[in-house]
Amino acid sequence: MDVKILALSDQVVDRLYDLIPTGHFDDIDLIVGCGDLPYEYLEHMVSALNLDLLYVPGNHDPAHNPVQGNTFVHGGTNLDLKVIGLRGMSLAGFGGSIRYRPDAPNQYSQLDAYLRAVVLAPRLLLSRLRSGRTLDVLITHSPPFGIHDDDSAAHRGLKAINWLIGWVRPRFHLHGHMHDLRRNLRPDRTHVGSTSILNVFPYRVIEIPDVS
């Protein structure tokens, strides 16, 4: 069985509001948010498509606080540092970007990002032991270091994501954060070993094949 994901990041696409009522996305099975989108936009997608939403926070999103209703997406699941099984797939999330402003939420030094990856690691291992299969989809906001990123202060990739990809070898890695594909400055799809790394900005439909 194949699973189709509608992945979104970083920029509201008004055209989607028109496409959804026409049935354009009727074959989608899951919505994924890769960060830096208005939560009202994501909530509209959940309501209009009547599908599950998994998302990670971006560097422009608020710090998550379960008590404050404006710090999370109603109807969605914040996947940051979590691993879940859904529609026959295993999915994990890793939010945020490189730190470029002191004390900003969802921004991390390379060391801090590694420490966060260490928190996620045992959850990934436990999921693999339970399911007997590799991770299907890793969802992040930042790209990996040296892949789809650049050398500006705000857009360097996180080395911890490279480590996760090398260790876990997910089938797909979906990220956002990089906005200049329209100028053809970098590719939007790269293969590292058995992992397909995709920049989903501003939206992308991804088919995950052979989900059992």
pLDDT tens-digit profile of 127-185? 999 888 889 999 999 999 999 999 999 999 999 999 999 999 999 999 999 986 545 56
- The pLDDT value recorded for residue 181 is 55
Q: How many helices (H) and strands (E) does the chain have?
A: 4, 13
- The pLDDT value recorded for residue 71 is 85
Q: Which of 3-7, 29-33, 56-60, 183-187 has the least mean pLDDT?
A: 183-187
Kind of pairing between the strands at 189-192 and 195-199: antiparallel
The CATH number of residue 114's host domain is: 3.60.21.10
Split at pLDDT 50, 70, 90, the class of 66 is: confident
pLDDT at 105 over 90: yes
CA nearest to 59, candidates 114, 116, 119, 141: 141
Split at pLDDT 50, 70, 90, the class of 189 is: very high
Average pLDDT, the chain: 94
pLDDT average, residue stretch 6-21? 97
Phi-psi region at 99: left, alpha or beta (left = phi > 0; alpha = psi -120 to 50): beta
Q: What number of other Cβ atoms are within 10 A of residue 107's Cβ?
A: 20
Q: Considering its fold, how many domains does the chain have in total?
A: 1
pLDDT average, residue stretch 110-135? 94
pLDDT at 200 over 50: yes
Q: Look up the domain containing 107 and give its range.
A: 3-208
Q: What is the pTM of this model?
A: 0.96
Amino acid at 28: I
- The pLDDT value recorded for residue 134 is 87
pLDDT at 72 over 50: yes
| Residues forming a β-bridge with 80 | 93
